Structure 1
């Protein structure tokens, strides 16, 4: 019997080591604050810091002996990113800071940071796609990694949530293609473990507190949130209709409009057809506000 590519990848995934701070078996009863998670996904960097600290605390508690006895230096790798990071990168930053404080306190070398470069992206909200649709998008989610710095390193892959495992599959495929066979551990703030819960649960979780640009303003205008641009925020803005976009742009500073616009260009979103009208409108608005 010939295995399909998906079956082959699933076999590789099942052999991987992973740790999740929160396991999701019931979508109605979570062991973390779903509304805080939603705010984190839409740029609340202070909430990201809290999640990063919690994840590292759980990791240190479970793997304390392994961390201190390992004869290899750790290489921490965040979820794949381009110039503008996804929300998970802000969890990663705090996780790495806390881990390195622990390592330094115990006379161990610090964990180093490495990056998987995201070469392609998709216009859709990934969290709204079914498992099959996510697998079909793997071809558009192209990654690359510099192998040389990984020699004699133990790899830690840090992300916010594992729903179907498709991103993990893509990373595993990249590692195998690059002949990277280092010891590795995948770390998640949360993991869905009930196959009866549809993958669309992730979409509902992401948007339970922030469902439109007006609600996004509650994070932007809240000093305690310390708003940070991420790729989810950019795509949410670009997918909005022009009326909603106009109201949003006139509710934020010229400086923030400029940062959002040039972040979109840095991500090459101007090459995605469905984003073109919103980007052109944003550019005209930016020029008008600057002239004023």
Structure 2
């Protein structure tokens, strides 16, 4: 078993990330156009670093763990797969397979605000699950968008030990914090570089390439009620239904901090349906 870590961008200086902070923020809140650029960039970097000069076995790609609502990394993973599959097919290698890491716990805290110890404490009670039999004899590519303290990586490797996986493993990141003098909350700086308020989400949600994710849903449900109500009334019924379905799928209706905003959505959808029936639609 061999474990290899690869990151496309190495963060050593807060004045030069190697990528646009606004783009990263938009990506974290569902901009699929940015996710496409990130996924293609990571795939091309990985091909050049590890695949060009030798045989390529069956690879299995695994996005960052999630319950029901995908993470932003899942959108990046899609485009990573599309780009890598084209290269694999052209060169006569087997195309990627996919599987999922299941997680059991969801939390409302903003991970990007925390230091290393707080991150480990928050996710330490979580458990990750994967299909060991499906992975037998294959190389695994674990994808994530950014490595800050390695907290999630520790959980992945703990899962690897628990399941006694003997596979060769690649841990792939779009970016990695390598300067330990930079506080881990630099992640929060990047996450919110473009999204300063709920109203900045409109430029992302209303564009053609949009992919709903966990961060976006939690951010909206946790926002102050008055602003949330104004924001929601400017969105399409299609988006509001999607938001509600995703929130229920992740069990967010059981989290007290989200219930007031979710009740507003539920009432809004019920009233919209009632009015539609009244008018014969």
The TM-score with structure 2 as length reference comes to: 0.94
- Whether the aligned pair in 2 keeps the contact of 1:254 and 1:290 (CA below 8 Å) is no
Q: Whole-Å Cα distance in 2 between the matches of residues 60 and 281 of structure 1?
A: 47
Q: Whole-Å Cα distance in 1 between the matches of residues 123 and 206 of structure 2?
A: 36
Structure 1 segments unaligned to the other structure (5+ residues) = 1-14
- Number of residue pairs aligned between Structure 1 and Structure 2: 274
SS for the counterpart of 2:26 is: helix
- Whether the aligned pair in 2 keeps the contact of 1:119 and 1:143 (CA below 8 Å) is yes
1:69 aligned onto 2:52: no
Q: Whole-Å Cα distance in 2 between the matches of residues 90 and 115 of structure 1?
A: 14
**What displacement does 1:141 show?**
2.9
State the match for 2:12 in structure 1. 25
State the match for 2:79 in structure 1. 94
State the match for 1:279 in structure 2. 262
Q: Whole-Å Cα distance in 1 between the matches of residues 265 and 15 of structure 2?
A: 38
State the match for 2:43 in structure 1. 56
Q: Whole-Å Cα distance in 2 between the matches of residues 141 and 134 of structure 1?
A: 12
Q: Deviations for 1:179-209, whole angstroms, at most 9, x for unmatched residues? A: 1121001010000001111111001101000
1:107 aligned onto 2:92: yes
Structure 2 segments unaligned to the other structure (5+ residues) = 276-281
- Whether the aligned pair in 2 keeps the contact of 1:16 and 1:185 (CA below 8 Å) is yes
- Pairwise CA RMSD: 1.3
Q: Whole-Å Cα distance in 2 between the matches of residues 248 and 49 of structure 1?
A: 27
- Whether the aligned pair in 1 keeps the contact of 2:3 and 2:168 (CA below 8 Å) is no
1:143 aligned onto 2:120: no
Q: Deviations for 1:9-35, whole angstroms, at most 9, x for unmatched residues? A: xxxxxx841000000001121111111
Of residues 247, 256, 281 in structure 1, which corresponds to 2:239? 256
SS for the counterpart of 1:198 is: coil
**What displacement does 1:291 show?**
3.1
Q: Whole-Å Cα distance in 1 between the matches of residues 201 and 67 of structure 2?
A: 23
State the match for 1:7 in structure 2. none
Q: Whole-Å Cα distance in 1 between the matches of residues 28 and 173 of structure 2?
A: 14
The TM-score with structure 1 as length reference comes to: 0.90
